[in-house]
Amino acid sequence: MNSNTRAASSTFWKRTPAFVPSTVEIVYSGSIENAPARAAPSAELSAAKQQLPPSPLTPPLDKEAAQPTTESPVPATLSTKSTSDQSSAVAVVPGDAHSLKFYSLLTSANVDIEELRKQSWKGIPASQRSTAWCLLMGYFPLNASRRQQTIERKRREYSDWVRQTFSRGEASLDRTLWHQICIDVPRTTPGSPLFQSPRIQRSLERVLYCWAVRHPASGYVQGINDLLTPFYYVFLSPFLASPTNDLQHQVDALDESTMGTVEADSFWCLTKLLDGIHDNYTHAQPGIRRQLVKMKDLVSRIDAPLASHLDSEGVEFIQFAFRWINCLLMREVSLTNTIRMWDTYLAEPEGFSSFHIYVCAAFLLKWSKQLQQLDFQDILLLLQKPPTESWTAKDVELLLSEAYMYKCLYHNSPNHYSAAPAAAPAAAGHKR
């Protein structure tokens, strides 16, 4: 980091906007042990605590359906009717002031989206993440009186698409597209037993195929399968007794209406996400190419010695950062840590595009000293498989706070990104 950056960062937290969390500030400053005790919950939140509903975040749809089969890509029935008068039931961990704050927000007649973003920046309680994500993605209406009707309509719409698309069997599908999706899905999040379930894999295949045929400008691109998994995990988790034990049995025991709910909500949230980064997946992927140029320029300004060393070794950013942008670092950090990152991405303006570049730059700079001692081959080996296996939520929060610092220092800086963006080299061997 150059002297200007060090000088600016020394006073950074004194001028950080209010929505940056105090916990992250403490983690960044390296004094987490000196963190102040949480303030006691207000009388309003204490009262809310006495009325905690026992049901999960997103209610299952109640229409009974036939058992799933392995022969067909689509179940005989996908339910579309909901029995609950509430669009979502928000679970809260008793005694957790942060959860109570979310409970108050999410159960209000009109959700204050700015306050929800502010609270989400520092992480969303797992018990309330499903509802919060749907609101932050723009899938659930902020007005509670409109929510249930909208959710039922969107789930029914997806269910109808699935029936229309798969009613004549696999023979009627685009064989090339379906074949590629069926190859990629088993490779998705290979370290997670949940996504090795045949029932889950059939569901992921349906979501990806339905999205692809409805977005012909981009179609399916490898990497989109990775982006689906955080939504699916978050929306399915409330219906699992344990996210780690005997997952195969738990998944097989779920009724078809529950699976239909999870599948439909995952489809719509994936659609919302990809609408915001659509250029990343159209022909020649121009969005990623532009972001590679920006990332290289940003790293050059923050850490000139590292940038110079990478250049002298002939290392191109596309050789390691293309995947970081294409898959939003999902193959570099665990699914649990990815979900924590997405809490903040959903709270940031253009979190999955502009802010992600600052996260990628901060991620690269973590290995700066080590990289400057390596040659071309060892640099790529490190960056293509960075040592993040032991990372926890604190490591992710530190990364996010560093990225936010760089954003404050360099975003819209007079010299930043001022050069005309040169086209990045095409992704060699990238398969569409």
CATH number of the domain to which 301 belongs: 1.10.472.80
Q: Tokens representing 197? A: 């379930």
Domain that holds residue 182: 61-87+126-276
Same domain, 210 and 353: no
Same domain, 397 and 265: no
Q: What is the pLDDT along the chain (432 residues), one digit of tens a residue?
A: 555 554 444 444 433 443 444 333 333 333 333 334 434 444 444 444 444 333 333 333 333 333 333 445 655 445 444 434 334 556 555 557 888 999 999 999 999 999 999 999 999 999 999 999 999 999 999 999 999 999 999 999 999 999 999 999 989 999 999 999 999 999 998 888 899 999 999 999 999 999 999 999 889 999 999 999 999 999 999 999 876 667 888 999 999 999 999 999 999 999 999 999 999 999 889 999 999 999 999 999 999 999 999 999 999 999 999 999 999 999 999 999 999 999 999 999 999 999 999 999 999 999 999 999 999 999 999 999 999 999 999 999 999 999 999 999 998 775 544 443 444 444 444 443
> 252, 276, 300 — which closes off a domain?
276
Enumerate the β-bridge partners of residue 312.
none
CA 201, CA 97: separation in Å to the nearest integer? Answer: 37
Tell whether 361 is covered by a domain: yes
> 247, 276, 305 — which closes off a domain?
276
Tell whether 386 is covered by a domain: yes
Same domain, 167 and 258: yes
The 3-state DSSP class for residue 19 equals: coil
Q: Tokens representing 203? A: 């569901």
Tell whether 381 is covered by a domain: yes
Number of domains in the chain: 2
Give CA separation, 253 vs 241, 245, 282, 284, in Å. 11, 14, 39, 43
Same domain, 316 and 343: yes
Same domain, 167 and 206: yes
Residue reference for tokens 């108050």: 104
Same domain, 14 and 143: no
Give CA separation, 206 vs 61, 172, 185, in Å. 19, 14, 11
Tell whether 256 is covered by a domain: yes
Same domain, 293 and 189: no
Same domain, 202 and 66: yes
Same domain, 24 and 67: no
Identify the DSSP state of 143. Answer: B
Same domain, 382 and 320: yes
Same domain, 239 and 146: yes
Tell whether 119 is covered by a domain: no
Asked if residue 127 lies in contact with residue 100, where contact means CB atoms within 8 angstroms, the answer is no
Q: What is the DSSP string of 287-349?
A: HHHHHHHHHHHHHHHH-HHHHHHHHHTT--GGGTHHHHHHTTTTTTS-HHHHHHHHHHHHHST
Q: Which amino acid is at 2?
A: N
Interior/surface letters 180-190, b for 16+ CB within 10 angstroms, e for the rest: bbbebbeebbe
Tell whether 390 is covered by a domain: yes
